[in-house]
Amino acid sequence: MSTVLGPLAARYAEWLRLPAEATHDMADEEPELVRAMPVVLRIERTEPPARTALLEAAAAAAVAVCLDPRAAAEDGEWHEALTSWVDGRIRKVARRARGAHWEAVQSLPGVTVTVDGASARALVPGRVVETPKEVSRLQISGSDLPADTPGEPPAGAAALWLNPVIDMTAGKAAAQVGHATMLLAALWEADGGDLSDWAGVDYRCAVRTPTRDLWAALHPGDDPAGAWRRRGVVAVQDAGFTEVAPGTVTVLAQLPDK
């Protein structure tokens, strides 16, 4: 399976070694050139979804857009939009939708994933200044949901471990787990791995909050390449524009078979 994610694998270790202030500085771009992937979370007023299931849906939807044949093929209708985005920063903007607003975004190019009744739709990325009105009218704030207690991870799921010492809204966490699945797929493919089994279970993920001891044991530290090689672990390091400090590792992601 050939994908558009090669540049992420090529720069992963270098990015993770940057000092915190550099991760923030590198995000300085001309506003009209900034690209982002909108991730729309379905949060109905009367029956909101479980937080964990919604994050798992968002994580799967984000990587599903990137691995879709319409993105992978050079003549695919999504290819140029995805490659232009991946070549820069992989920004995501999570927004919440309900009712008719949720139905409206289904007509936009992207992938909807539903996990245990919770739905998220990741859209093909584009310039932020050209965000469709169906998306721009949606709220970014107010996307938080109460913590829940998920059950056993499903078979074949990639493990996405949320940093146990920081707090993130559901919207922020949705963007971070979406980054995590993209990095997993990128490095997996770069090593010659076969993504078909994961695709066969719709890129299923298990979002969990580990103990501090487990987080410390999994953390790549100053050896991201070794952590990937030995434990199949990648880390998402945030630029720190919202909710967390620059350089914060928000998610550790692990291959299904590790």
The confidence score (pLDDT) of residue 198 equals: 92
Express each pLDDT in 139-160 by its tens digit. 987 768 999 999 888 888 999 9
**Sequence spans of domains, the chain:** 6-254
Out of 20-29, 49-58, 221-230, pick the least confident: 20-29
CA distances from 63 to 46, 132, 179, 180 (A): 29, 21, 8, 9
Out of 9-18, 25-34, 41-50, 196-205, pick the least confident: 25-34
Question: Residue 173 — pLDDT band, cuts 50, 70, 90?
Answer: very high
